[in-house]
Structures are given as C-alpha cells and as structure tokens.
Amino acid sequence: MHYRSIGDLNDDIVNWITRLPRDLDLVVGIPRSGLLVANLLAVHLNLPLTDLDGLLDKRVLSAGGRLNRPVELPSSRRLKVLVVDDIVWTGAQLELAKKRIALADLPHDIQYGVVYLHPYSGGMVDHYYEKLPGNRLFEWALLHNQYLTDFCMDIDGVLCRDTTSKEDDDGDNYRRFLSTVEPEFVPTWTVGWLVTSRLEKYRDLTEEWLERHHVSYEKLIMLDLPTAEERRSTHASPRFKADVYQQTGAKMFVESSLTEASEIADLSGRPVYAMETRQMVYPGVAPNGRRQSPLLRSRIAWVGHEMRRKGFRGTAAAVERRIRGKLGGTRSL
C-alpha cells in the first residue's frame, strides 16, 4: 500500500518544482484534490491560482498582498497555464477537464500535470512527479474513498470523540454518551468492519447511534467482555483489534489512538493508520521512525492508555513528554 500524507505531498511538490517549466503564468486545480495541489504549487511559485471553472470564466482567485501582479486573465495575451491534479489513475476526471477546456477554445498554452501517476497513464499528462503502482492511500482522501469497504475502523476517536473519564463509568454516564455523542466524521462509503472496544452489551445503543447518523457498514465487531474494568485490567483492546485485522484480511485498520495503533501494527504485522496524529504506523517502528523493544512498546502503550482513560487530551508531543516522564525520562520512544 503506497501512502502519502499531506506533508509528503508538500515535499513532493517542492521537489517537483525543479522539473516544471519556470515561465508559468497560472496554476489551475481540477476539483477537488487538484485544488490542494494547485494551491501549494501556486504558493511556492508565487503564481496566480484558479480552479477549472475560473479558467473557463476568465476568473482568478484573490491572491492577497504577496502576489505582485494583476489577478485577472487578459484576453489579449497568451499565457502559459499548468492544469494540475493529485493523481491520474483511470484518467476520467482529467479527460473531462481536457474536453471542457478544448470546447472553450482558449488562446493559452495549456499543459497538464499530476503529482502521482499510474504507470500506464503516462501519455495523458505533460508533467508528473512520481509513478505509484498498485494500491495507494492519500491522507486527504483516506476516509472518503471506495477502499473503505476493505477497511477496519475504530469508532471512538474516529467517528465520534473519545469518552472523558467521567463518562467512561460503564454505567448511566456511559450509556448517555453512547446515545448523545455527536459524530465527528461520517464515512462517504460503506465501511467493511467497524471494530470497537465498546463492550458487546452496548451493541443495541451503538447500532442505534450508527443508524441515526447514517453510518453505513457491513459488520460491527465488539469486544465480548463483561465489564470495562476487565477490559482495562487485561489491556485486551490491541490484541482484539489485531486479531480481527488479521482474520478479516482488511487492507487497512483506522485506529483512534497513536499508541494503540502502534501495538495493533506490531501484533498484526501490518500497517495501521492513527487518527490521533494522522499518520501511518508500521510494525516494529515507533511513530518517530526509531525501532523499539516490545517491552518498551508495551509500557508506552499502557501509560498512554491510562492517560487517555483519565481524561488527558493534550497534543501528541505533550503525550510523548508525559510518557517519557512516567517511564523514567531518558529512553528514546
């Protein structure tokens, strides 16, 4: 699976600039992901920016004070225009854009580019940065793509916020949370497996919430333990999720917690996406890229779990600082 974060995209665009024409006059983004590429490219090159409709309507987006040139499309001058998207895969969106531009009979020199290219689509663009064979996942589209039918996905911390320590009482407060918490993300496509550490005894409330908020899924897999205290004392969640990940053969697991994502990755031997920090976590590799021992990983995961259970809601950096302190300070995570 080829994964690219928004940070990766920005780095790739900066490197791509050295291979692009230096006399461009305008960058045009194909909606919607192409607008992200066009915006970054235009900012780095300090060029005017517009979308596809803007190009056809001779309209340029307002550029603020840094762009020291007119922000309009002159009808009397031939411009060098780069129309961009994030990727060409089937080429359907690009072909549609090309047809619309051709029908407009614009006087400009128009070239086409993508950051990422399917190996068999090279003839469709004038410029590209990198070929991406096989399956790919992009941070900016990961939770809104057709691959979700082959994903395992956590609920708390992904579809809705996590509980506070007061709400996580395995009683009336928790039931109230399950019924009333607002969604933070509703998938566009059907999710293959919702895999949650919520206990099986809360299935009815969970299914009612999912139906009420129009979350489409094929299977809901819940942890079959009698109490939340037993779930916490046995630290059952990572093993439970890793087992489901392996048994289903899912392409990806989307987990809320960074520390738990690291454990699931180690236990399953497969990558896991952590919503907490919006990064891909790989087996045997700490989130900062360093290798770490299973014992240290286990201690880190347990401390992180206890911190979240007690209501700590700091940034990932703050969590790391807290964990360093609780584990004695100096060992690398």
Which residues have CB under 8 Å from 163's CB, separation 6+?
156, 174, 177
What pLDDT score was predicted for residue 147?
A: 86
Average pLDDT over residues 92-105: 91
What pLDDT score was predicted for residue 210?
A: 98
On the question of pLDDT at 315 being above 50, the answer is no
What sign results for the dihedral spanned by CA atoms 239, 240, 241, 244? positive
Mean pLDDT taken over the chain: 85
CA 108/CA 27 separation, integer angstroms: 12
Q: Which fold has domain 2-138?
A: Rossmann fold (3.40.50)
| Domain spans in the chain, listed from the N-terminal domain onward | 2-138, 146-326
29-43, 107-121, 304-318 — most confident range: 29-43
In this structure, are residues 81 and 67 in contact, taking their beta carbons and an 8 Å threshold? no
